[in-house]
Amino acid sequence: MIVVGIYNLKGGVGKTAAAVNLSYLSSFEGNKTLLWDLDPQGSSTFYYDEEFNSVANLKKIFTGKIDLGDLILETEYNRLDIIPSHFSYRNIETILDQVKKSKKRIKEALKDIKNKYDYVFLDCPPGISILAENIFHACDYILVPTVPTPLCLRTYEQIISFFEEDELDTSSVIPFLSMVELRKSVHKNLMKVLKLKMPNLCTSYIPFLADVEKMGLHKKPLANFCPNSKASNSYKSLWIEVKKKSTFVN
């Protein structure tokens, strides 16, 4: 089972769009796939047209009293399941603070489903916190959607520094460019700089296109409602890279 977190310190960089589209593409290819929506805003849950799930037993999940599988729901798509978010996920930091080995509770919870899925995607809220530490310890890879703006390199370097301080493998951090507008000179110029500054940067990038915004209207992944669009093809290219990078993970 390969666990992939979609994370950035910043919000509004395309994390949820990546989580929804990559999880769908994974399942479409035949992989048994789970998407865990950890963001209290619940955008992935909304895009998959699911109701917010009860999280009354979230503490029991983190203390091992019940299985993570009890929160899993099927989506309308074959081989794709979801753990929906809930607004009370805003209290997840407090819950994690109350349990032992709090940095590894998500990793421990995922062991319950290790033999049930090929890929697990985590749609992560922004910020550095105990939840972020849990995500870093639980994931085989951290995909970092990066809008090519002047602050993006600083944000990436902060993530790498955090990994180094926690003695985690920085090579598992995989940035990709998101919401790219080539008409903007700052985007175009920074793309060249970032290729040199981010050694693990994906060659595929996600352009800023209206079709991505339309996901909210259709409540579907791009490959479902506009499979041949430029936006959909961009995520397909990104997914191919992600698969190549995760080939040797057990």
pLDDT digit string, tens, across residues 205-236 = 999 999 999 999 999 999 999 999 999 999 99
Any domain includes 184 = yes
Any domain includes 187 = yes
Sheet holding 173-180, edge to edge: 73-74, 80-83, 33-37, 119-123, 2-6, 141-146, 173-180, 205-207
User: Do 92 and 62 touch, CB atoms closer than 8 A?
Assistant: no
Any domain includes 12 = yes
CA–CA separation, 99 vs 69, rounded Å?
A: 20
pTM of the entire structure?
Answer: 0.94
SS3 125: coil
CA–CA separation, 44 vs 37, rounded Å?
A: 6
Instruction: Give the single-character DSSP code of 223.
Output: H
Closest to 80 (Cα-Cα) out of 34, 41, 48, 126: 34
Predicted pLDDT at 250:
42
CA–CA separation, 87 vs 53, rounded Å?
A: 10
Structurally, how many domains does the chain consist of? 1
Q: Which residues of the chain have pLDDT under 70?
A: 52-57, 101, 247-250
pLDDT digit string, tens, across residues 20-59 = 999 999 999 999 999 999 998 889 999 998 776 555 567 7
Any domain includes 250 = no
Q: How far is CA 66 from CA 82, 112, 113, 187, 240, in A?
A: 17, 9, 12, 47, 35
Any domain includes 60 = yes
Q: Domain range for residue 185?
A: 2-245
CA–CA separation, 222 vs 231, rounded Å?
A: 7
Any domain includes 6 = yes
CATH of the domain at 62: 3.40.50.300
CA–CA separation, 132 vs 106, rounded Å?
A: 10
Any domain includes 81 = yes
Closest to 9 (Cα-Cα) out of 112, 150, 162, 116: 162
Any domain includes 217 = yes
What is the Rg, in whole angstroms, of the alpha carbon atoms belonging to the chain? 17
Q: At how many degrees (to 10) do helices 185-197 and 152-165 cross?
A: 30
